[in-house]
Structures are given as C-alpha cells and as structure tokens.
C-alpha cells in the first residue's frame, strides 16, 4: 500500500503525453482494484478482533455514453478474525466474497478527470469458522453502492479511486462491508 502514492505520481507525470477525449467515452473496459475492507459491527461481542483486511476486485463494464454505463465483477472482501468470550465459540474467522452488477452514472470533468456513482446488487457468500463449533456458510443478494473518481492517463487507461458499500452482506450475517480501493481500468 505504501507504493500507491508513488505510482500515482508517476501516472500523473505521464498525462501530458496521452490525450484522452470525451468523445471516446463509449465502449467496454476491464480493470483491477486493490484496497482495504472494513467490516462494520463484525467485532461486536468479540475480543482482540481485527475487522479490516486487504480487499480486491476484478471488474468489467460497458460505458453507453460519457454519462451512463453498467459494471460487474468479482470482489474478495477479506477476512475478520477475533476471539469470542460470550458464547464459547473460541477463535472465530470469517471470510467473504461476492459478485456484483451496478448501473454507473459518470460526470466528466474535462477530458482527463471525472467522478462517478453506482448502485446495484451483489451476491455475497460468507464462511465462518469457529475453533469449537466448526464452520458454516451463508449467502444472499443485497444492495451495493459507491462513489469514486478517475483520471485518464492514456487514451485507453485510467486510474480510479473509489469507496463501495456492500449493504447487509453475507446472508443472515447482515454485515455492512466497505471497500476503499485504488485501481486501473483498460478501455477497449
């Protein structure tokens, strides 16, 4: 994660050599983002709990115009670990992943920059293991939404920063999981 600021400085330095035009907005794209997850309320009742982890996603989408698009992909929401002293579960670990699809609204700011918002649905699966009771899993379909910004650094390459929430994820676990990430998207 320490390398991200240096990577962004290098990418900003490349921008004068790569014109990107607003009329090039329509088309498909693929990308990869890495960041940090935060599982809200996951540590309730646990001691020595860590509710943050590395999260990542691979995504693809299609921009119908410079204002509207659709995006979907796979997300790994990381892991939470702690110790339960209330119910005798012992050491507890939970991992979550999901697939998602969202509508994306984009507001270009000049030719190089823009902001976006998205809302959609995510299928999430959580696996919980306890040192005393074994493991169990649950899944469900829930709301996902987020906001972000991007910078076109080459005609077909952009860097994006975003925050996303996976609302009531993990079936009956109903956990709100946030992912803050930095990524790249390649337009084809």
pLDDT of residue 24: 57
Average pLDDT of the chain?
A: 86
- Report pLDDT digits (tens) over 152-177: 999 899 999 999 999 998 778 788 99
State the Cα–Cα distance between residues 50 and 37, nearest whole angstrom: 11
For residues 156 and 186, the answer to whether their CB atoms sit within 8 Å is yes
Share of the chain above pLDDT 90, in %: 61
Sequence spans of domains, the chain: 35-187
pLDDT of residue 23: 46
Which of 126 and 26 is assigned the larger pLDDT?
Answer: 126
CATH of 35-187, one of 3.90.1640.10, 1.10.150.120, 2.60.40.10, 2.40.160.20: 2.40.160.20
Q: 117 vs 137, 163, 181, CA distance in Å?
A: 31, 10, 14
Q: Given a cut of 90, is residue 9 above it in pLDDT?
A: no
Strand partners, 129: 93, 135
| Neighbour-count burial for 5-21, b at 16+ CB within 10 Å, e otherwise | eeeeeebeeeeeeeebe
pLDDT of residue 12: 47
pLDDT of residue 116: 98
């Amino acid at each position: 994660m320490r390398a991200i600021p240096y990577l962004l400085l290098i990418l900003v330095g490349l921008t004068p050599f790569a014109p990107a035009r607003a009329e090039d907005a329509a088309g498909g794209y693929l990308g990869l983002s890495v960041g940090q997850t935060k599982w809200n309320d996951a540590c309730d009742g646990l001691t020595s709990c860590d509710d943050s982890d590395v999260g990542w996603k691979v995504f693809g989408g299609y921009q119908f115009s410079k204002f509207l698009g659709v995006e979907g992909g796979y997300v790994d929401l990381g892991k939470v670990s702690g110790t339960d002293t209330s119910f005798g579960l012992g050491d507890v670990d939970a991992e979550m992943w999901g697939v998602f699809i969202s509508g994306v609204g984009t507001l270009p700011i000049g030719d190089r920059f823009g902001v976006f918002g998205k809302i959609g649905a995510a299928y999430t699966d959580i696996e919980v293991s306890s040192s005393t009771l074994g493991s169990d899993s649950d899944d469900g379909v829930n709301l996902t939404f987020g906001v972000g910004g991007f910078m076109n650094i080459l005609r077909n390459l952009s860097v994006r920063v975003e925050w996303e929430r996976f609302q009531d994820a993990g079936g009956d676990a109903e956990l709100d999981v946030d992912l803050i990430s930095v990524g790249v998207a390649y337009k084809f």
